[in-house]
Amino acid sequence: MYLPWLATASAALSFSVHALYPLNELAKTPQMGWNNWNSFGCDVDEELLISATEKIIQYGLRDAGYQYIVLDDCWSNGRSSNGTLQANTTRFPSGMAEVADRIHNEGFKFGMYSSAGTYTCARYAGSLNYEHQDAQTFAGWGVDYLKYDNCYNEGQSGNPLITYDRYKKMSDALNSTGRQILYSMCNWGEDYPWKWAQTVANSWRMSGDIYDSFNRPDARCPCTGNEEYNCALPGFHCSAMNILNKVSHYIDKGVPHAWNDLDALEVGNGGMTDDEYKTHFTMWAAVKSALLMGNDMGRLSARDLSILNNPAIIALNQDPRGTSAVRVWRYDVDDVDRYGQGEIQMWSGQLSGGDYFVALLNAGNSSREMNAMADDIFYDDGEEGTSEESTMEWTIHDLWANRMPEDVAQALIDGNSTQASSLNVTSYYFNATETSYEDGLASNNTLLLGQPVGTLSAKVMITAEVPRHGIMAYRLRLAGWGLRKRDEL
């Protein structure tokens, strides 16, 4: 059994740091968008990017907040005689500037990829020792986002200062272009980037690469999260629960303009159940990770779309307070799955406007009743029930109760706007292009708050039946909506 792990200073750290840096004015809330790598790897060309933008618009995901289209590795054809990066003209016959223009014209921002090494991970030309020249090239092409990897780094790693210096060179080079380019570091958590990257980058990968599994162990991802932050080999093929357990120890290090990045979302790639994908998406949002979809937009199901466009969950991620949820407790359970995995967790955190987030996460192998005590929910506000919040009455809002029905989501996928309208799509869909999440929350937009389902009274608990590998997620708001009191959901 794991003893409860409790973060006691996250709010104080977050607010003390906000004023010290941003690197730039970007990523005030975690970036949202789409990246091709998880689904397509090197099988990429300009038509894939344009097709993805069209479908993201059709499905309503651009206006839900997914604004970056990020091209990953394998776009390059090496360097010209003067050392300038060149695009592969077979894959990108229009040229990168034209691709960027087409993406911009659809209301998106355009991202590209390089590596802080001699080569990229797929062995194309990297940017080590070409930082200034490559930054100017990216800016000239109209790039708005750079994912910067860690392969073939010539041994320039092994302690935080060496890695900091290597990544700072590109940070300085991007800033010198005069163009606002979101800088997404991808050094897999090597040399503890959460300790130093806030002054260098807008986000940093904190673990090895994700793959489409809820909790399957893999020897290629040797650290489990039980090492706390002392992972010597990040590896790859890391499951969603593996990554979540790792980041739980330093979630307070992400702040506005500088975020922990748990890697791209696997929702829609087929390796997890619906409940597992809901858990994956909810927790990435709650701990303020970047939300970059990693699926094939041409194969997205209605159920998966209704996860990715849930406004009540996205609102957690885009909350202007910028404070991550905290893992309050974690216990092993006896009902393990075929991989020998089984645990339960409870998370909570503060949101803007005095609201709170609560999650009951069941990573056991069967459905179970779980509960969250008021003293645990408000632990950071006063130990052992001494907080004023634990004596108040709160309205409980279920963040998945208003999930878009499958027939509505399918109408969007089919491009049937008439049917979607007749099915009242606006009852489930929030347009963040028209109204920001910050303004929507300030105006108490019910799509962002979730569905009221009961109240939490002083010194009582939230109790819920949580499915196998599933989650129950709630927003708590001070009572006053006149709901009938009930403790059990």
Catalytic sites, residue numbers: 149, 209
| Eight-class DSSP state of 119 | B
Strand locations in 192-290, DSSP E? 203-205, 259-261
DSSP 399: S
Report how far residue 64's alpha carbon sits from residue 382's, in angstroms, rounded to the nearest whole number: 36
d(CA 150, CA 132): 17
Q: What is the dihedral of CA 168, 174, 175, 176, to 10 degrees?
A: 110
* Token pair for 278: 């809901």
Q: Where are the beta strands (DSSP E) in 251-393?
A: 259-261, 291-293, 326-332, 343-350, 356-362, 368-373
Nearest Cα residue to 297 out of 7, 24, 58, 479: 58
User: Which residue, among 265, 264, 287, 266, has the nearest Cα to 7 in the 3D structure?
Assistant: 287
Taking the C-alpha atoms of residue 250 and residue 260, their distance in angstroms, rounded to an integer, is 9
Alpha carbon separation from 100 to 141, 233, 248 (Å, rounded): 7, 36, 36
